[in-house]
Structure 1
């Protein structure tokens, strides 16, 4: 599969004074030099910057281009990978203020609320602006963001996989909160994600490279990966029972199946100085497991522990990205 890859510097809104750096690896049609509609979009939210470590492993796994390549290697060549950095950094601390309005100056959330759906709306805006930027880059040619759909790998609206690494997990918490309070809309009457469309549906629904609305984004999410998330304060994992109850009800009302995977290392889950991380992880896992029987077997949850026999280190915190088991 031919691909276009690069690192973009993109504003969230036309008048924004801040920019997000986004590493992208996108399916490309070699015949027409247009973007092809993928089977899924994998969106990876980065954490704080690890500056001045002098560690080549950490440096390599902090590179947005390299991270986008790793994401493609995990999910397959028919997906698009988007690796997103925060637009604001306070020293090394990522501040996702556009996605989580309640964050403090260090990017730590005070709370997660669905009002205004800021994370899903910001994700849609950012990816749309990325596509516009790609139009200007690919040989100066027009990129058609809804054509190029072939029977070989475009069956329906692309799925969405969401990954949050380290502090990037706070964006996942906000998205999951918004998911719990979102309407299913027409999704309940549409073909399942990844299933062939009948003629009637294909004529009435436009297929896009990325979702065009926050509802489209939220209804397309099929996997949520927490990748060694952690904070210096509470809020690394979502522990709001009401949100998970609402998600379970959405699934029973016709939303597509949803899978959570919590990936961790001793760096976060065995940190005695920040014991709340493990406590929050265990609580979130228990809440998800308690809702699984109520979801009609459509909610799945797994926890995977890496480097269990090694002492905590910053290097393993980054190395988990490369050995991530998404099966």
Structure 2
């Protein structure tokens, strides 16, 4: 199946800062965007420039990463790579998605109020698909090829799953979404709202991407932490209440949820930032404890890469090529 690949610049609000989004999307034989089996969204980290290392330069390129991610996905899946809209020097500041952070993008807390990350993801994807569909349609009309509504032939398909990945500083968005999922599921159960059975609502059944914050959260099937790390606490979720809420959510759904922690010695063996490994170990321990009551549907993985090699900035980026997505 053919793919559309390109880079867009998307605001979350009128006049707001622009997110740079690279995408690799499947295209149907009719030359329309096809409904994918999954949307994988990778949030990147801080800017690294002037290293003189070609591999780091290549793996810092969002367009390259979109193609790389697409190649790792099984079946017909779309790949999205999102760079932060704001930077403080080299530091990524995901303030539109994680409001409680300082001026250099370090999280002060993960507050689920208003579901800002889930709403932001839905907004970004909606803007992107709208622009891309217009571009694909124009190109197809120039070639005098018929245009098929991508939703029309896909009514019998299940809604696309959402796979969330955070690389390096991008892990803060994964933490925010984990916190929002836990909170949203808890509120839904208490309010007796039947949103936990079977994924997204019928209204959004045939869309290319999840349309609302609730759709984003209910469609998530995998969380991937990819060599995440911060110069302060907060690289991983260590709040037992959040982890318990995730497990409760899995217990109330018919779907599996995978949480995978990918790491290198660069982060997990850094003697100057021992809290990164401590947080990772605590999160994994809490997940294992809570997973025992989920009937095997909360799937966990800890994947180490380049073990035995001395820590380096190069391996921190090379994990993007080496990572195995469950």
- Answer whether TM exceeds 0.5 for this pair: yes
Deviations 1:88-121 (A, max 9, x none): 0111100000000011111100000111111001
Correspondence for 2:165 among 158, 163, 167: 163
SS at match of 1:182: helix
Corresponding residue for 2:125? 127
- 139, 146, 149: which one aligns with 2:151: 146
What is the 5 A alignment of 1:267-286?
267-286=266-285
Deviates most, 70-79 or 172-181: 70-79
Change (3 A) 1:205 1:232: closer
SS at match of 2:48: coil
Q: Secondary structure at the match of 2:320?
A: helix
CA contact (8 A) 2:4 2:27 kept: yes
Alignment match, 2:207: 208
Q: Is the 1:37–1:147 contact (alpha carbons within 8 Å) kept by the matching residues of 2? A: no
Which piece of structure 1 moves more, 127-136 or 177-186? 177-186
For the residue of structure 1 that corresponds to 2:253, the secondary structure is coil
Q: Is the 8 A contact 2:164 2:224 kept in 1?
A: yes
Partner SS, residue 272 of structure 2:
helix
Would you say the 8 A contact 1:26–1:79 is kept in 2?
A: yes
Which residue matches 1:197? none
Preserved contact between residue 163 and residue 220 of structure 2 (Cα < 8 Å)? yes
Deviations 1:198-243 (A, max 9, x none): xxx98x7631110011111111111110000000111001100001
Matched-pair contact (CA < 8 Å) for 2:37–2:76: yes
- The answer to whether the 8 Å contact 1:24/1:65 transfers is yes
* Residue pair 2:158, 2:205 contacting (<8 A) in 1 also: no
Provide closer, same or farther for how the CA distance between residues 291 and 307 of structure 1 changes in structure 2, counting only shifts above 3 A: same
Secondary structure, aligned partner of 2:221: strand
Which residue in the other structure is 2:11 paired with?
Answer: 11
Residues 1-327 of structure 1 mapped to structure 2, 5 A cutoff: 1-13=1-13, 15-31=14-30, 33-140=31-138, 144=149, 146-149=151-154, 155-183=157-185, 185-190=193-198, 206-254=205-253, 256-327=255-326
C-alpha root-mean-square deviation of aligned residues, in Å?
Answer: 1.9
Secondary structure of residue in 2 paired with 1:318: helix
1:36/1:148 contact within 8 Å kept? no
Distance in 1 separating the partners of 2:59 and 2:128: 22
State the Cα distance separating 1:309 from its structure 2 match: 1.3
- TM-score, L = length of structure 1: 0.91
Specify whether residues 234 and 3 from structure 1 end up closer, same or farther in structure 2 by C-alpha distance, changes over 3 A only: same
User: Equivalents in 1 of 2:126, 2:150: separation in Å?
Assistant: 10
User: For 2:292, what is the secondary structure of its paired residue?
Assistant: helix
Task: Structure 1 unaligned segments of length 5 or more: list them.
Answer: 194-200
Residue in structure 1 matched with residue 144 of structure 2 by the alignment: none
**Cα offset for 1:260?**
0.5
C-alpha displacement at 1:36, in angstroms? 0.5
Deviations 1:49-81 (A, max 9, x none): 111111100010111111011111111351000
Secondary structure of 1:138's counterpart equals: helix
